[in-house]
Amino acid sequence: MGILNITPDSFYDGSRLSGVDGALRRAERMLEEGAMLLDIGGESTRPGADPVPLEEEIRRVVPTVEAIARTFPDAVISVDTYKSEVARRSVEVGAHIINDISGGTFDPDILKVAAEYGTGIILNHIRGKPKDMQRNPHYDDAPAEVLRELMDRVARAKDFGVPDESICIDPGIGFGKRLEDNLRLIKAADRFVASGYVVLYGVSRKSFIGMALGYDDPADRLYATLGVHAYLYLKGVHVLRVHDVRETADVVGIIRHIERS
């Protein structure tokens, strides 16, 4: 899954795009490099980020989704939003999947949108909101607690009429977790895979890598990111949300060659 951030303030400046033309160029490159999905977002959800007003997020996201859907009709498009109206308008112009960092907890109507339109939905785990989620997070057993809370969100989505086959779960690396929690959630990826749901991990260039290895600049975190991607792939994770498509595709590709040899 290639990341398309239509934002001026995403944590990794190499991922920031300012308009439809730039997004189309980036989308074309990612698809050529092997992306199977494109994730389009108009609000940074990095720790400490302020929310974007609804109309501004719609202005950023919906024309981009529409242009990519029209230009690349075979592309599978995900919209990265927790706002039901952004999700609805994006689906109406071509998005196939809703990627909600709140797992349907910030705006439960987003679950109605997924059920009504028959889209896929990615239920991410988070405690708190991006503005405050990193203020003293605590877990006694992060994998067990996160999996339990995700299953609660899955049950709620099903109550709204979203079928099992439309649900993907994401443990939410970096969303209200300490370094040790993130590492344990990665180590326990197979436990999430064993849930039977499609599992997505988003670790690309995130701050836990910088904390572990001493890299303040996200630009320095590529190689460690690829190491985590290889680990997660071998654990059975189905979807990797990435900034660097070609590099990740090469990692996965060589592992597949080895496994088939």
> Where in the sequence numbering do the catalytic residues fall?
206, 241
Cα-Cα-Cα-Cα dihedral sign, residues 40, 248, 202, 234 = positive
Both structure tokens of 183: 């590492």
- Residue 143 has phi, psi (to 5 degrees) of -60, -45
**Distance, CA of 261 to CA of 236 (rounded, Å):** 19
Contact call for residues 28 and 47 (beta carbons, < 8 A): no
